[in-house]
Amino acid sequence: MSENSGARKVTWRELLDIREEQWRPLLRGVSLVAEAEIPEARREQVALALGAFYGKYKASTGSGVAVLDKWRACLVAAMTGIAVTSFAQGAYWPAFWAAVRYEGDYNDQHVWGDAFARAASRLGLPTFPDSTQRFVGPILMHAGIPAYCLGDFFELLVERRRRDPSLDADGFLVWATAPGRKHHLSALDKPAERFLLSGGDYAHDVVDRTFDLLDRLTEPDPDLDGVRLPRYMIESARRMLDLGELDLIGIRTSGRRDGATKRQAQPRIALDPYGQGVHVLLPAVGDTPDGVAHWRVTAGGEARTVQSRAMWVGAAEAAPPTACPLSRPVRSVLVSLAGREDLTTELRVVEQTDPVLFFSEGVSLAEARLVFV
């Protein structure tokens, strides 16, 4: 008990219980843990507490699993926070063990990595099971673009926007992730590269919001309150700008951006169990010279041309949405609009072994998922 304040110091267990109650609802309201805006000092306290309990009870709790499963929100917040602030030179675990003050080995990486995935799943967060790095991959994905990687990421977006002033997140990701173009991201650190290649909607949102941030920073008195990015990203961009490390001259799009840009409708895979069945849904197209849109759809090596015609030819009316049925299992579908073949979209298909047909609703252009048996 303190003589001056009359308040006693909380124990590690009490600290974890308090933060768990505070952070669980916060994490259920975000897509990536890095968006939760948890103060770094509090994350550091929680990391120390988790490390202390893990070291104390490891032998009696099945390699510490029970300890880590007890405080799920604390676990994912602490592990992601360390990835955001301390990942460097291609390494995560040395910084992590230093933060929790525990000398971990490969087996401990297994325990903490699996505990992170379980905790994320139970909190309703994505687990990124396709990550090429089993233990650290999902942690880095939830960090988005770690602070160490931001400089090259900002510079790449600025370079691409300077080449194409109308470039948006869709255009950037098509350029960055199209088959055979992996070298386009070779200047980035691996966590940033993997996030952009595999992050789907999450990567799109980060790129879109970063373009918004860069646009606003070109203004004399930028209003950054509406930028929906983690604070560390905003502060890093401002610091680079102040130090002359980020040249934003000539990169702003015309017109004011109100928050993240509105995404244009894109081709996607859909399921109509009472009609078309599994099909590629092709969106409405405006600005067609004769009111007709010609789509080229290639599935399993077979190409088809699908036409969509406006009801009133010659009127200022978009060619309406249409559909292209998929009659058999395929691994991917390539979609392009006549005259814009340089913007070919690949809809990737994921196969599993379940004895039914599944369809993942609400997924993005970059990660539309269809499961055939």
pLDDT at 266 over 80: no
Number of H helices, E strands in the chain: 12, 9
**In this predicted model, which residue has the larger pLDDT, 111 or 256?**
111
Measuring CA to CA, which residue among 91, 92, 77 is closest to residue 39?
A: 77
Beta bridge partners of residue 305, listed in sequence order: 296
User: Which pLDDT does position 80 carry in this prediction?
Assistant: 95
Percentage of the chain exceeding pLDDT 90: 28
Q: What is the 3-state secondary structure (H, E, C) of 37-87?
A: CCCHHHHHHHHHHHHHHHHHHHHHCCCCHHHHHHCHHHHHHHHHHHHHHHC
Residues 77-94 have a mean pLDDT of 91
**In this predicted model, which residue has the larger pLDDT, 129 or 340?**
129
User: Which pLDDT does position 307 carry in this prediction?
Assistant: 85
Instruction: Assign 348 a pLDDT band (cuts: 50, 70, 90).
Output: low
Mean pLDDT of all residues belonging to the chain: 79
Cβ contact 366:178 at 8 Å: no
Predicted model pTM: 0.64
Burial class of 105 by CB neighbour count within 10 A (0 to 12, 13 to 18, 19+): exposed
User: Which pLDDT does position 6 carry in this prediction?
Assistant: 53
User: Which pLDDT does position 352 carry in this prediction?
Assistant: 35
pLDDT at 311 over 70: no
For residues 320 and 312, what is the distance between their CA atoms, to the nearest angstrom? Answer: 11
Cβ contact 333:298 at 8 Å: yes
Cβ atoms within 10 Å, residue 102? 19
CA–CA–CA angle 244, 245, 246 (5° rounding): 95
Residues 9-32 have a mean pLDDT of 88
- Write out the H or E segment, with its range, that includes residue 196: helix 190-198
User: Which pLDDT does position 50 carry in this prediction?
Assistant: 94
User: Which pLDDT does position 117 carry in this prediction?
Assistant: 92
The DSSP symbol for 91 reads B
Pick from 26-35, 39-48, 217-226 the range whose average pLDDT is largest. Answer: 39-48
Residues 287-304 have a mean pLDDT of 78
User: Which pLDDT does position 373 carry in this prediction?
Assistant: 26
User: Which pLDDT does position 198 carry in this prediction?
Assistant: 84
User: Which pLDDT does position 310 carry in this prediction?
Assistant: 65
